[in-house]
Structure 1
Amino acid sequence: MTDTDLIQQIREIVGDRGVLIGDDVSSRSCDPFRQVPAESPVIVRPASTEEVSQVVTLCHRLGQRIVTHGGRTGVSGGAYASSTEIILSLERMHRIEEICPTTQLAVVEAGVTIEALQNAVAEHGLFYPIDLNSKGTATVGGTIATNAGGNRVLRWGMTRQNVLGVEAVLADGTVVSAMNRLIKNNTGYDLKHVFIGTEGTLGIITRAVVRLVPAPASQTVAFVSVADNDALLALLLRARRLSILSAFEVMWPDYYDLVASSGTDRRPVEPGQGAYILIESMGYNPELDQQVFEEFLTEAFEAGVIVDAVTASSNKQIADLWRVREGAEIIVKEMSPFVSFDISVDVRHVDAFVDRAKQFLTANFETVRTATFGHLGDNNIHIAVHVGPDTTAQEAEVERCVFRALREFEGAITAEHGIGQTKREFLPEHKQPGEMVMMRRLRSALDPDKLLNHDVLF
C-alpha cells in the first residue's frame, strides 16, 4: 500500500482536521533542544479514544508502525519518527472531562497540558502536583507514559503516585479502560501500571484519572549557598525535617556561574561557593509556615551550614528565584550542542559521582564544559555536557564516560526522562538479565510485531 492510500484510509477515520502532511509534518521538531524534523509521511490527530482505536486497528492490519506524540518535550528521543512510521499525535484530545473537589480527582484526555490542568483545578481550590519546567507544553498522557517527575517529587511523588486510572489502546486496537477512581482497589491486576513509565511501548494512553491535592495556601522560597558537599548534605537532612518541604533544588558551580553571568539578572547570591540551593515549602497555614521556615534557616545559619541566603517576600521574587534554577534556555544558548543527562544517584555519593564523571570526560575530550543541577531531595541530577562543535557526533562516547562513572556508584541512567531511543543501547548494562527477559516477554505478549514506538527502550 502506498503512503497516499494509507493516508486516505486514515482521513476517512479522523477527517481532514485529523491529518497533517508535507511541510506541516517536516516543520515539527521531535526534540525540544535540537532540530530533529519528523520524517514521517503523516501526522494523525484523532479526536477521541474511538478514533485512536480505529487508526491503530488499521495500522495493525497493515503492519504499519506508529510513533505516539504528546507535547514533544521528551529529551530521550522517544518522539523521533522515521519515514516508515506514522505519527499519532494526541494534541486534539485536550478535554478536561471532570474535576471533583469532593474526591479530589480529575478525569482528563491525554492531550491536556499540565499547565492547563493546573489552571483548571486551581479554580476549585485544588492543585495537580506534577510540576515541570515544560508544563505549558508537556501533556498528561506523555508524562504518564514516561512516569515524569519534576520539581516537587520529594513532597508528592512521581507521576505514578498521582494517577488512579488510565484508558489505553493496545497495538491491535483493543481499548483497555482501567479508569479506576478509588484509592483502595485490589480487584485483580492494577493495569494502569502496564502503561505508566513504559514509554508508549505497551499501549497508547488516551485518558486518565489523576489525583489532586488541596491548593497550598503558602509558598515560601529561599535561595542559599553552602561551602561544600558536607554542608549540602547537612542542609538536606535539616530540610527533610520540614513537613511542608516541597522542593530542594541544587545547582553546582558550573551551572550557577553560567546562569549568574548570563546577563539575565539571575544572581541572587555571590558566586564562589560549593553549591547553591533553592529551598521551597508549601503549606496550609501561612503565618505558621513562614515562622517554621524562618526558624529552619536561622538554625542552619547559626550551625554554620549556610554561607549566604536570600528569601522571597512576594510572588514576583519567588518567580525570580525559580528562574535561576530554570535556566535551560541559557544552557541551550551558551552550550549547544550538548548531551543531556538525567540520572539518579544515592545522595551520599552524588558529589563523588559528579567528580568521577568529569574525570572520565576530561580524560577523553580536550574540551569539556558541564552544567550540573537537579532535584537532590529525590536523588535526581541533570548534567549538560559540551565537548566541542562535534558534540552531537560524539554523543555515544560522552554517554559512555558518564554511565561508566554511574555504574561505579550503582546509579540509574534515567530518573524521569526515560530510555527513549537515545539510551536504548545502555539499558542491558543497567538491568539484570532476568529483568530484560521479563520486559521483552511483556512487550511481545501485547505487541509482538513492535508496531508501537518500535525503536524505544529495546
Structure 2
Amino acid sequence: MTARTAGAALDELVAQLRNELGDSGVLTGADVTARSCDPFLDVPPAAPALLRPRTTAEVSRIMQLCHAANVPVVLHGGRTGVAGGAHATAAELVISLERMNRIVEVDPIGGTMTVEAGLAIETVQQEAEKHGLFYPIDLGSKGSATVGGTIATNAGGNRVIRWGMTRQNVLGLEAVLADGTVLDLQNRFLKNNTGYDLKQLFIGSEGTLGIVCKAVLRLVAKPQTQKVALVSLDSYNSVLDLLGRARALQQLSAFEVMWQDYYAIVAGDPARRVLDPQAQFFVLIEVMGNDEAADEAAFSGLLERAFEDGLLTDAVLATSGKQADDLWRVREGSEILVREMGPFISFDISVDIRRADEFVGKVRAALAQTFGFYRSVAFGHLGDSNIHIGVHLGPDTRERGHAIECCVYGVLKGFGGALTAEHGIGTMKREFLPHHISANALTTMKHVRQALDPVRLLNRNVLFES
C-alpha cells in the first residue's frame, strides 16, 4: 500500500467513525493539536483524528472498525502520565474516554463504586465522601488523572503504605479488546475465585491488552481524623528507625521522605520553609484514624519518643486541616522543581528501603563521574520503597536524557531495583525493560500481548520495542 493509498484509507476510516460517533465524537486539525500528550511538555498528538466515545458500545464499534482496517490506536485518559504512554504518531488514532465520566452506582453497604473510566479520581473521592466513604488512591494530579488511566498504570500515590496500589482497590472492570470484544469482569465481591482473575491482566498493562471502560472500585470507611507532621533528621539510620516505629501505628497512612537537596529547593518558597533546610532528611508522617483522643495520643507519643531518643532535630505538627494541607504542599512541590530546576529528567524507581540512601549516593557519584556538573533531587514514598530522582545538567538536559538514563539505570541494576514503581514503562523506558526483568518474564509478557492483541493495535509503541 502506497502512502497515498494508506492516507485515503485512513480518511475513509475517520469518515466511518464520524458516522458512528457524530461530529462531536471525532475531532481533527487544531482541535487535536491544541492538546498535549505530556503534562509538562508541549507534545501535541500527531494523530489525524481524536475519537471521543460516550459508551462501551461505541468503544467496541471503534475497535471493530480499526481492527478491520488494521489502524492502531493510542488511549488517552487525563494525560497526566510522564512515561510517554499517550504519545501518538500520524499513523495512529487517539481514543479519549473523557466523555465516559459517569458514576454508575454507589453501594455504601457493599463499599463499592461503579464508574466509567473517564471519571477523575478527585470526583470519585468527592462522591465517596458524600456516603461517608473514602477512595484511598491519592495523587497530586487527582483533579485530572482518570480512573482508567490509573488502572492502566496501576497508579500508587501517597498512601500506598496503608491501602495499597490501584490494583488493591479495584474489584472488577469492563474492557474492550483489540477486535472490539467486550469483556465484562465487573465483579463486586471481595471473595470471588470463579476461574482466572482476568481483571488483573488489564491493571498495570498500560492499555496494551484492552481498553478499560468501567471499573468497580473498592471503598473504605472515611477516616475521621488526620494527623500530619513534618520532621527533620540528620542521618538515614534515624529515618529507618523512625519508619520502623511509625509502622507500629495501625493508622499510619503516609511516610514521605525528602533528601536535603529536594527540601532546599522547595524551601526557597517562604510559605513552604517550615523547618531549617540544613538538615539532611525531612519526613512527612501522616496517620488517619477514627478516634481523636487515641490517634492524638499515639501520634504525639511517637514524636515525643523520637525526640527523646535523639532521632529528630526539629518537627512541626499540624493543628488544623489547613496546616495539614500546607505541610503536604511541601512534599508536593513539583511545580517549584519545574520552575527552579527545569529542564530535568525524572526517575520513578523502587529499591530496598534499607539501601535507598546508599542508592541515591551511588547515583550522585555516577552522575559526577560521568557528567561533572549536575544538579539532582531525591524524594519519595519511602514507606513503600518508591524513590523519585530528578537530574539537571543544564539547558541541554533533555538532549542528554538518554545518557542520564543509562547512568541512573546502570546503578539501579546493581541494586536489584524496579525500573518503574508507579509511572509505568510507556514509550520512554522500553529500551531498559529487558535489562530489569528476566528473559522468561519478558517472553511471557509478549505471549500474553500476542494472545489478546496479535497485531498490536492498542498502544502499539508502549512497553515493548517493535
- What TM-score comes out, normalization by structure 2 length? 0.97
TM-aligned CA deviation for residue 169 of structure 1: 0.4
Deviation at 1:230, TM superposition (A): 0.7
Any residues of structure 2 matched to 1:399-410 within 5 Å, and which? Answer: 399-410=405-416
Deviations 1:361-383 (A, max 9, x none): 11111331112110000000011
SS in 2 for 1:323: helix
The residue number in structure 2 matching 1:318 is 324
**TM-superposition CA deviations, 1:325-357 (whole Å, max 9, x none):** 000101111121111110000101100000101
- Could you tell me how far apart the structure 2 residues matched to 1:167 and 1:158 are? 19
Match of 1:152 in 2: 159
Paired residue type of 2:180: G
Indicate conservation of the 8 Å contact 2:13/2:65, yes or no.
Answer: no
Retained in 1: the 8 A contact 2:13–2:69?
A: no
Matched, 1:93 2:97: no
Following TM superposition, by how much is the alpha carbon of 1:134 offset from its aligned partner in structure 2, in angstroms? 0.3
State the partner residue of 1:261: 268
- 1:106 shift after superposition: 0.3
Counterpart amino acid of residue 315 in structure 1: G
Aligned partner of 2:372 in structure 1 is 366
Does the CA-based 8 Å contact 2:39-2:82 persist in structure 1?
yes
TM-score (norm 1): 0.99
| 1:234 aligned partner | 241
Deviation (angstroms), 1:278: 0.5
Which of residues 4, 14, 17 is equivalent to 2:11? 4
SS at match of 2:272: coil
Deviation, 1:237, is: 0.6
Give the deviation of 1:199 after TM superposition. Answer: 0.4
Partner amino acid, structure 1, of 2:142: K
Q: Which residue of 1 aligns with 2:40?
A: 33
- The equivalent of 1:142 in structure 2 is 149
CA distance, structure 1, for counterparts of residue 106 and residue 415 of structure 2? 43
**Alpha-carbon distance in 2 for matches of 1:409, 1:182:** 39
1:141 and 1:58 mapped to 2: Cα distance? 22
Q: SS at 2:171's partner residue?
A: strand
- Superposition pairs for residues 71-150 of structure 1, below 5 Å? 71-150=78-157
Q: CA deviation at 1:99?
A: 0.7
Residue number in structure 1 paired with 2:458: 452
Instruction: Tell me the secondary structure at the aligned position of residue 388 of structure 2.
Output: strand
Q: 1:52 aligns with which of 44, 59, 62?
A: 59
Counterpart of 2:357 (choices 343, 351, 359) is 351
Amino acid in structure 2 at the alignment position of 1:20 = L
Deviation at residue 262 of structure 1 after TM alignment: 3.1
Residue 341 of structure 2 aligns with which residue? 335
Identify the residue that residue 391 of structure 1 maps to in structure 2. Answer: 397
Q: Classify the secondary structure of the residue corresponding to 1:230.
A: helix
- 1:305 match: secondary structure: coil
Counterpart AA for 2:383 = G
Q: Which residue does the alignment assign to 2:307?
A: 301
State the identity %. 56
Q: 1:249 aligns with which of 256, 263, 271?
A: 256
Whether contact under 8 Å (2:258, 2:380) holds in the other structure is yes
Structure 2: 5+ residue runs without aligned partners? Answer: 1-7
Partner of 2:439: 433
For 2:382 and 2:25, the matched residues in 1 are separated by 42
Shift of 1:433: 0.6
401-410 or 218-227, larger mean C-alpha shift: 401-410
Letter in 2 for 1:364: T
Output one character per residue of 1:74-108: Cα deviation in whole Å (capped at 9) or x when no partner: 00000000111110000000001111110000000
Q: Distance in 2 between matches of 1:347 and 1:155?
A: 16
Shift of 1:389: 1.0
Matches within 5 A, 1:278-289: 278-289=284-295
Match of 2:420 in 1: 414
Q: Secondary structure at the match of 2:138?
A: coil
Name which of structure 1's ranges 163-172 and 361-370 shifts more when overlaid on structure 2: 361-370
Q: Distance in 1 between matches of 2:398 and 2:437?
A: 26
Q: CA deviation at 1:70?
A: 0.4
Spell out, residue by residue over 1:129-171, the C-alpha distance to the aligned partner (whole angstroms, 9 max, x if none): 0000000000001000100000000000000000000100000
Letter in 1 for 2:281: A
Report how far residue 112 of structure 1 moved. Answer: 0.5
Residue among 169, 172, 177 paired with 2:179: 172
Amino acid aligned to 2:449: R
2:4 corresponds in structure 1 to: none
AA partner of residue 123 (structure 1)? K
Deviation beyond 3 Å, 4+ runs, structure 1: none
Q: What SS class does the counterpart of residue 257 from structure 2 fall into?
A: strand
For residue 13 of structure 1, report the CA deviation from its aligned partner: 1.3
Which residue of structure 2 aligns with residue 222 of structure 1?
A: 229
Letter in 2 for 1:98: E
Displacement of 1:2 after TM fit? Answer: 3.8
